[in-house]
Structure 1
Amino acid sequence: MENAFEHNHFMQEIGYEPKGENGITGQRFFQKGGDNRTHHVHIFQVGSNEIERHLAFRDYLREHPKAVQETTKQLSTPYDYANGYISLTRLQLAHFYDRFS
């Protein structure tokens, strides 16, 4: 996984900002668009349990558009976007995993 850090410059060349683990041990996270994020990329070690968890959450959100609307509504309230987004996402993921694991 350390190799991901060695290649940060490739992601930076195409407009992504390296964010390190960004709160998830073993992940490498990249974001594009600053505070008005347009894209993000998660990189995990092959075989990481986090891959299945993230894909399951993505699939759940695709199948439950009301959950996306509620998330968007919660994120539109004024607060520190970066910390608030991370906290909200962690709470949602915890709730999702408790329900569906």
Structure 2
Amino acid sequence: MPRPYTFSEYSPDWPLEFEREASRLKGYLKENLTAIYHIGSTSVPGLAAKPVIDIQPVVSSIEQVDELTPFLEREGYKAWGEYGLPGRRFFTKDRNGYRTHNIRCYPVGHPDIERHRAFCLYLCAHDVERKEYEAVKRAAFAHNPGNIDGYMDEKNGWIKHLEPIAIDWFRKQVS
């Protein structure tokens, strides 16, 4: 059965919700945490999206995250393990049957850290592409209102096209 999801206009509450959840995670991960980023569409001001806060903790030791997993589950997170991406630990939080948070935990140096950050920061800096992505997302939701997998699949081609452009741009910004 498909997981229910919603789509909404950008909310200024999303960065605040990121800060609240990031604060909790900082308290749980303690000295293992080296950085924590708000990623995904809710991190891009003005972008309509599924109202799911994507958080990317970067840790020194992924094994310490594994040891902490039973505690995180007691705190309301669902652990999914790598969930298809080697090296990652994926956790979710739900409220009233709807996903509210995706936690994508990576060890320092994992290439997906840059990929996720670059994509979001590129959209923050490029209005034309942000608006184009929003149109893609709106169409994907209209075609797949009750099917999260279909929604994700429909966006995937556009994302894969933009990712290398965003990564190249990002690398130029940080060099």
Normalising by the residue count of structure 2, what TM-score does the alignment of the two structures yield?
A: 0.46
TM-aligned CA distance change 1:27 to 1:16, over 3 Å: same
TM-aligned CA distance change 1:56 to 1:15, over 3 Å: same
Distance 2:89 2:158 in 1: 20
TM-aligned CA distance change 1:32 to 1:61, over 3 Å: farther
1:45 aligns with 2:107: yes
Rg comparison, structure with higher value: 2
Contact 2:136 2:155 in 1 (8 A): no
Aligned residue number for residue 12 of structure 1 = 73
Report matched runs for 1:1-101 at 5 Å: 1-33=62-94, 36-63=98-125, 64=127, 65-66=130-131, 67-75=133-141, 77-78=144-145, 80-81=147-148, 83-84=149-150, 87=153, 91-100=157-166, 101=168
Contact 1:61 1:68 in 2 (8 A): no
Task: Tell me by how many angstroms 1:62 deviates.
Answer: 3.9
Same amino acid, percent of matched pairs? 31
Contact 2:77 2:93 in 1 (8 A): yes
Matched letter for residue 97 of structure 1: E
Distance 1:85 1:19 in 2: 21
Task: Tell me by how many angstroms 1:95 deviates.
Answer: 2.1
Structure 2's unaligned 5+ residue stretches are 1-61, 169-175
Structure possessing the higher relative contact order (Cα contacts under 8 Å, 6 or more residues apart): 2
Structure 1 or 2: more strand by fraction: 2
Q: Please list the CA deviations of residues 16-61 of structure 1 after superposition, one character each: whole Å capped at 9, or x if unmatched.
A: 1111112211111111117621111111111111111111122234
Matched letter for residue 163 of structure 2: Y
Count of aligned positions: 100
Task: Tell me by how many angstroms 1:69 deviates.
Answer: 5.0
